[in-house]
């Protein structure tokens, strides 16, 4: 296995590659041509206009000629730290702000632990003894001399480790409690200070019973008028628009081809582009491309209009699902939290997600199939988690060079070259694992979609949970057990059940070097790669070259992305797990984790401020998961330490340590009852207070108009409504000033550009765009048109291009 020298080489490689990424980033970000790749958030917020629009010479529009800026290539770091948390919430939403808090929580937890562990444990471990008692093949690395492995069995020094485990557990629980408290308060404050939004008044009702002779709309009206007579306002039916959605995406593709051909013609006006109309354009009659696509789009528009009318008018396309709106937040809170019907599978009510958070396709899933879907997915996840291990095991066995040499002795001369050996041992295992993990999130997201959740935020949380199980079993346990399995398989299979934590525990110190390289590859170089945004950079320039005609197209080509929760949350949780498990066992691993937390914090803060445009705002709904997974890490560390110490014959350790999991679980239960409802339910006290405030400030608002189309499937507002926007602009400008003037006074902290209606990866150019009339404007990932709903009045005078357009992925 790897020696200290290998670690050094690996560290060097990773630090160099991280610096290379940072340098590349520093050079690329100051080029005006890349401005939209590295600062899209500001374009969306309206804080920045296209550099091409500015004056100056032609070259300066594309390349940065101000050489002074090249000298300060790390100046994004202090800039990223400048924005305060309140500003950050206003700028990017609560989700992003709380996401960053996970990194500061990591720092708060691990800085004191690192200092204490290094100061106390390293001397204890090093001075304690030698590794003489271990068989030769188990003395794997110099790192082990700094770890608990170096302590003689039955040594009294283990009480230092046990004492520190207690101390660390209490410290972590204390920090977790404080953080949960803060986040819950932030969430409640955030919700309380939000302005009026459709989802506050709306409840998603699933499984509306089909009564023969009555339309779904009638049943809905009748049911809610009977059972919520004082608060029921109206409802919005949900249409099954899958066929229509297919047409829209086909039209998008045609539009792209048209754009491409028009651009080609503009650049080479001497030659009109032509194409063959046969299969894949390989044969058939040759026609003029621009005319052809224009004609096709025209036909499609007709077809789509027909289909659209059909869907809206045919009662069969109405799904047994609806968004029911109430006169007050109190009414909606009551309906969302109570059981409506005698048959508990009918009239299922839940808070409606934000309109742009709705995953429309899953609304059509009938309730009966949900149980079956969930079972099937559970089994699939189990299979995926446990049978994915086979390739990982193979990679792990490769990483063991001694094993590789035995298998393929002819490779020995190559492998034995010093540098190659270090490279292979230090870099390969982590990298190979990372590649394996690359395609996984997509699979897990598809699985979550099959489960039938109706909000994108829920889907992402579920995918993230699955990914966490995967990481836990395959990256963490898999690396520990499979790695040693090649040495200990025989003895492992012949051990009684109580032996398992001992077997895993005893392997843990040996795997420290592996995890150190993993942290460097994934946590250091990986995060530096994140800031470079290579993929969006390339795609943006490709689009720019072939599709962009207007400023608005360029806006669409911009891909700000958002924090990739399904992937980053589990990774983060893995780092917590590693830190907590190794804090007592091999404390030398901790500084590597600290570097990760600090560096990733900087990077993500920069990205959140300048790049990401959140797709939805869940109000930090992911926090309970973060909390409970750190608790799970604590439990795992306690169990494994128990196993490890029992092999060390520290006789009294088990009874001493067995109290810890019990205390930790009690703490978890307490936190769950104390804080979790703040993330799952909407208290009536809160709803009533906001209702009362509304009633005094705006007694005669027309709520019905406000809510009327809020939950219309976004696909139905693609065309003509946009044309109307222009007409309504002046009226709207007046309206909005009236409506939100008073509100703005009471909510200073959120009054400028609330982030909630700004999110699309392929967004229209809001800086040259009029704010939409009402929050009716529903946003949907990848299909719907996007309206920027910016309450600051800075950008009202930008040019608005009224052409019909659609967005496509």
Report the residue from 39, 293, 470, 675 that binds a copy of itself according to the rule CB under 8 A: 675
Asked if residue 453 lies in contact with residue 359, where contact means CB atoms within 8 angstroms, the answer is yes
d(CA 558, CA 424): 38
Burial of 595 (0-12, 13-18, 19+ CB in 10 A): middle
d(CA 293, CA 605): 44
What is the 3-state secondary structure of 750-784?
HHCCCHHHCCCCCCCCHHHCCCCCCCCCCCCCCCC
Asked if residue 759 lies in contact with residue 615, where contact means CB atoms within 8 angstroms, the answer is yes
Report the residue from 143, 176, 245, 333 that binds a copy of itself according to the rule CB under 8 A: 333
Tell me which stretch binds a copy of itself (CB under 8 A): 331-339, 581-589, 593-601, 790-798: 331-339
Report the residue from 83, 188, 287, 477 that binds a copy of itself according to the rule CB under 8 A: 188
- 699 forms part of the interface with a copy of itself (CB under 8 A): no
- 251 forms part of the interface with a copy of itself (CB under 8 A): no
- 156 forms part of the interface with a copy of itself (CB under 8 A): no
Report the residue from 688, 708, 729, 744 that binds a copy of itself according to the rule CB under 8 A: 688
- 233 forms part of the interface with a copy of itself (CB under 8 A): no
Structure tokens at 450: 């099959």
- 158 forms part of the interface with a copy of itself (CB under 8 A): no
State in angstroms the smallest separation of the CB of 228 from a copy of itself. Answer: 8
State in angstroms the smallest separation of the CB of 772 from a copy of itself. Answer: 32
- 491 forms part of the interface with a copy of itself (CB under 8 A): no
- 676 forms part of the interface with a copy of itself (CB under 8 A): yes
461: CB partners within 8 A, 6+ apart: 565, 621, 622, 625
d(CA 560, CA 36): 8
Count of positions on this chain that bind a copy of itself (CB under 8 A): 47
Report the residue from 86, 215, 339, 697 that binds a copy of itself according to the rule CB under 8 A: 339
- 493 forms part of the interface with a copy of itself (CB under 8 A): yes
Q: 3-state DSSP call for residue 158?
A: helix
Tell me which stretch binds a copy of itself (CB under 8 A): 92-100, 168-176, 436-444, 682-690: 682-690
d(CA 47, CA 499): 61
State in angstroms the smallest separation of the CB of 676 from a copy of itself. Answer: 7
State in angstroms the smallest separation of the CB of 662 from a copy of itself. Answer: 7
- 84 forms part of the interface with a copy of itself (CB under 8 A): no
Which residue, 178 or 298, has its beta carbon nearer to a copy of itself? 178
Tell me the DSSP string of 344-402: TTSSEEEEPPPGGGB-GGGGGS-THHHHHHHHHHHHHHHHHHHHTHHHHHHHHHHH-HH
Which residue, 446 or 665, has its beta carbon nearer to a copy of itself? 665
Sign for the CA dihedral angle at 484, 486, 488, 492 comes to positive
State in angstroms the smallest separation of the CB of 494 from a copy of itself. Answer: 7
- 654 forms part of the interface with a copy of itself (CB under 8 A): no
Report the residue from 86, 127, 249, 495 that binds a copy of itself according to the rule CB under 8 A: 495
- 489 forms part of the interface with a copy of itself (CB under 8 A): no
Residue 583 half-sphere exposure toward CB, CA atoms < 13 A = 32
- 172 forms part of the interface with a copy of itself (CB under 8 A): no
DSSP-derived letter for residue 719 is S
State in angstroms the smallest separation of the CB of 504 from a copy of itself. Answer: 13
Which residue, 40 or 643, has its beta carbon nearer to a copy of itself? 643
What is the 3-state secondary structure of 439-497?
CHHHHHHHHHHHHCCCEHHHHHHHHHHHHHHHHHHHHHHHHHHHHHHHHHHHHHHCCCC
Which residue, 662 or 802, has its beta carbon nearer to a copy of itself? 662
Tell me which stretch binds a copy of itself (CB under 8 A): 419-427, 553-561, 662-670, 751-759: 662-670
- 477 forms part of the interface with a copy of itself (CB under 8 A): no
What does the buried/exposed string (b/e) look like for 725-749 if buried means 16 or more CB atoms within 10 Å of the residue's CB?
beeeeeebeeebeebbeebbeeeee
Which residue, 446 or 658, has its beta carbon nearer to a copy of itself? 658
Report the residue from 338, 652, 654, 793 that binds a copy of itself according to the rule CB under 8 A: 338
What is the 3-state secondary structure of 263-286?
HHHHHCCCCCCEEECCHHHCCCCE
Report the residue from 197, 228, 421, 552 that binds a copy of itself according to the rule CB under 8 A: 228
Q: What mask of x and - would describe binding to a copy of itself in positions 370 to 389, judged by CB under 8 A?
A: -xx-xx---x----------
- Residue 327: Cβ within 10 Å count: 18
- 635 forms part of the interface with a copy of itself (CB under 8 A): no
Q: Report long-range pairs for 73-78 (Cβ below 8 Å, ≥24 apart).
A: 73/22, 73/23, 73/26, 73/27, 74/22, 74/26, 76/26, 76/29, 76/606, 77/602, 77/606
Report the residue from 116, 428, 684, 729 that binds a copy of itself according to the rule CB under 8 A: 684
Structure tokens at 788: 């920027």
State in angstroms the smallest separation of the CB of 210 from a copy of itself. Answer: 17
Q: Which residues lie near a copy of itself (CB under 8 A)?
A: 188, 223, 226-228, 230, 330, 333-334, 337-342, 344-345, 347, 371-372, 374-375, 379, 493-497, 500, 662, 665-666, 669-670, 673-678, 681-686, 688
């Amino acid at each position: 296995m790897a020696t200290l020298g290998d670690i050094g080489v690996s560290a060097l490689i990773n630090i160099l590659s991280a610096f290379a990424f940072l340098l590349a980033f520093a050079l690329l970000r100051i080029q005006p041509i890349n401005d939209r790749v590295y600062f899209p958030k500001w374009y969306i917020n309206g804080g920045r206009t296209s550099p091409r629009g500015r004056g100056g010479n032609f070259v300066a529009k594309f390349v940065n000629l101000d050489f002074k800026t090249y000298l300060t290539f790390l100046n994004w770091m202090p800039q990223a730290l400048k924005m305060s948390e309140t500003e950050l919430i206003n700028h990017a939403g609560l989700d992003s702000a709380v996401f960053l808090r996970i990194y500061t929580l990591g720092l708060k937890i691990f800085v004191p632990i690192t200092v204490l562990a290094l100061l106390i444990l390293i001397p204890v471990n090093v001075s304690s003894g030698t590794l003489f008692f271990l068989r030769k093949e188990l003395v794997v690395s110099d790192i082990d001399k700094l770890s608990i492995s170096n302590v003689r069995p039955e040594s009294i020094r283990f009480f230092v480790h046990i004492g520190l485990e207690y101390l660390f557990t209490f410290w972590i629980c204390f920090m977790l409690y404080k953080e949960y408290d803060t986040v819950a308060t932030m969430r409640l404050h955030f919700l309380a200070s939000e302005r009026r939004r459709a989802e506050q008044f709306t409840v998603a009702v699933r499984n509306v019973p089909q009564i023969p002779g009555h339309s779904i709309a009638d049943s809905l009206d009748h049911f809610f008028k009977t059972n919520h007579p004082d608060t029921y306002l109206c409802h919005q039916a949900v249409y099954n628009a899958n066929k229509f959605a297919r047409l829209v995406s086909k039209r998008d593709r045609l539009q792209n081809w048209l754009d491409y051909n028009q651009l080609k013609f503009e650049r080479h006006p001497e030659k009109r582009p032509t194409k063959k109309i046969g299969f894949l354009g390989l044969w058939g009659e040759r026609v003029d491309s621009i005319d052809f696509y224009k004609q096709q789009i025209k036909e499609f528009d007709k077809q789509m209009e027909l289909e659209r009318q059909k869907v809206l008018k045919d009662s069969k396309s109405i799904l047994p699902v609806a968004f029911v709106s109430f006169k007050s937040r109190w009414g909606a809170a009551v309906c969302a939290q109570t059981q409506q019907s005698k048959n508990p599978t009918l009239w299922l009510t839940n808070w409606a997600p934000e309109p742009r958070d709705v995953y429309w396709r899953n609304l059509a899933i009938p309730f009966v199939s949900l149980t079956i879907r969930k079972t099937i997915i559970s089994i699939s996840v189990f299979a995926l988690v446990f049978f994915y291990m086979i390739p990982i095991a193979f990679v792990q066995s490769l990483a063991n060079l001694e094993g590789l040499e035995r298998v393929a002795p002819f490779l020995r001369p190559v492998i034995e070259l010093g540098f190659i050996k270090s490279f292979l041992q230090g870099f390969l295992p982590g990298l190979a694992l990372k590649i394996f993990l690359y395609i996984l999130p997509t699979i897990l997201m598809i699985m979550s979609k099959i489960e039938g959740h109706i909000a994108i935020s829920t889907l992402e949380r579920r995918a993230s949970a699955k990914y966490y199980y995967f990481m836990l079993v395959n990256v963490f346990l898999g690396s520990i057990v499979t790695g040693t399995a090649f040495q200990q398989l025989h003895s492992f299979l012949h051990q009684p059940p109580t032996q398992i934590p001992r077997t895993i525990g005893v392997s843990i110190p040996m795997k420290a070097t592996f995890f150190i390289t993993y942290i460097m590859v994934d946590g250091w170089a990986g995060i530096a790669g994140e800031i470079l945004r290579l993929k969006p950079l390339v795609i943006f320039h490709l689009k720019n070259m072939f599709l962009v005609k207007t400023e608005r197209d360029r806006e669409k080509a911009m891909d700000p992305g958002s924090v990739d929760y399904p992937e980053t949350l589990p990774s983060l949780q893995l780092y917590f797990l590693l830190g907590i498990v190794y804090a007592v066992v091999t404390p030398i691993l901790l500084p590597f984790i600290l570097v990760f937390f600090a560096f990733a914090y900087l990077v993500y803060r920069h990205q959140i401020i300048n790049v990401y445009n959140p797709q939805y705002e869940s109000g930090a709904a992911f926090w309970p998961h973060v909390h409970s997974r750190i608790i799970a890490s604590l439990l795992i560390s306690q169990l494994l330490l128990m196993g490890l110490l029992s092999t060390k014959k520290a006789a009294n350790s088990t009874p001493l340590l067995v109290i810890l999991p019990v205390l930790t679980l009690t703490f978890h239960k307490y936190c769950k009852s104390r804080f979790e409802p703040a993330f799952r339910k909407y208290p009536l006290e809160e709803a009533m207070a906001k209702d009362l405030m509304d009633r005094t400030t705006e007694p005669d608002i027309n709520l019905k108009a406000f809510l009327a189309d809020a939950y219309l499937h976004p696909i139905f507002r693609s065309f003509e409504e946009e044309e109307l926007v222009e007409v309504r602009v002046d009226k709207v400008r007046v309206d909005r000033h009236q409506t939100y003037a008073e509100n703005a006074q009471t909510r200073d902290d959120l009054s400028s550009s609330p982030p909630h209606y700004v999110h699309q990866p392929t967004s229209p150019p809001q800086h040259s765009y009029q704010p939409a009339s009402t929050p009716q404007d529903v946003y949907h990932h990848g299909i719907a048109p996007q309206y920027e709903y910016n309450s600051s009045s800075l950008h009202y005078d930008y040019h608005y291009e009224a052409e019909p357009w659609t967005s496509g992925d």
